[in-house]
Amino acid sequence: MRLTRLLHLSRNRRPVRRFRDHLVEPEVVEAVLEAARYASSAREAQPWRFVVVQEALARHRIAAAAFNHPHVMTAPVVVACCARIHSHVSGTGRPSFAMDLAAATQTMMLAAADLGVQSSWVYGFREGNVREILGVPEHVPIVALFCLGYHDGLAELPERLPREEVIAWDRWRTPVRAAE
């Protein structure tokens, strides 16, 4: 089987340690956001709203709300990934917006990689502080912060778990581990 470009991008994505102090071209930012618009969502509701932050002071305030995470502190573009609350609830009783936003964020990450730009996403932050900085209404969840830029150091390619530990066919199977 031929290795597709998408699989190549997924397999070779290396975590960003820091971003360079270099602006991301507006057409690149637009292309990444355009890709997110076409991500899958439950019932194609497209519940996302993205707040793109490039202004330095706002980015620094957001970084403080994200516990000074190096990705957020150094990213020239930070996108707050917000969700409209809607009535789509799965059979498990879970609302779909978190999964929908995860799909849109992963789509942005792959689009960025395809355009030669690095990205990361962070979901550990003080939501109330970010909400205040960006003026996001109280009823709109902020699901993640998506950071975009050119890397200033990449981590090693993370080792992946063996296939037999993450994939089961037809039924759940507990992996057999060698005795230690």
Mind giving me the DSSP string for 23-53? PPPHHHHHHHHHHHHTS--GGG---EEEEEE
Tell me if 47 sits within 8 A of 41, measured CB to CB.
yes
Does residue 37 belong to any structural domain of this protein?
yes
Helix ranges, 97-162 (H): 97-114, 127-134
Does residue 171 belong to any structural domain of this protein?
no
Which pLDDT score is estimated for 103? 95
Using CA atoms, how far residue 114 sits from 7, 35, 46, 143, 159, in Å, is 11, 11, 23, 24, 22
Using CA atoms, how far residue 7 sits from 2, 33, 129, 141, in Å, is 10, 21, 37, 31
pTM over 0.85: yes
Which pLDDT score is estimated for 177? 59
Q: Which residues contact 76 (CB under 8 A, 6 or more apart)?
A: 19, 21, 22, 23, 24, 54, 59, 148, 149
More confident residue, 14 or 34: 34
Number of folded domains in the chain? 1
Q: To 10 degrees, the CA torsion angle through 145, 149, 153, 155?
A: 40
Nearest to 121 by CA among 11, 25, 36, 2: 36
Does residue 172 belong to any structural domain of this protein?
no
Does residue 35 belong to any structural domain of this protein?
yes
Residue 45 reports pLDDT greater than 90: no
* Strand arrangement, sheet containing 118-122: 48-53, 77-83, 142-149, 118-122
Does residue 179 belong to any structural domain of this protein?
no
Does residue 154 belong to any structural domain of this protein?
yes
Does residue 174 belong to any structural domain of this protein?
no
Average pLDDT over residues 91-102: 85
Residue whose pair of structure tokens reads 């990449």 in the numeric block: 154
pLDDT band at 128 (very low <50, low <70, confident <90, very high): very high
CATH code for the domain of 35: 3.40.109.10
Domain that holds residue 84: 5-166
Q: What is the mean pLDDT of the chain?
A: 89
Does residue 177 belong to any structural domain of this protein?
no
CB neighbourhood size of 114 (10 A): 15
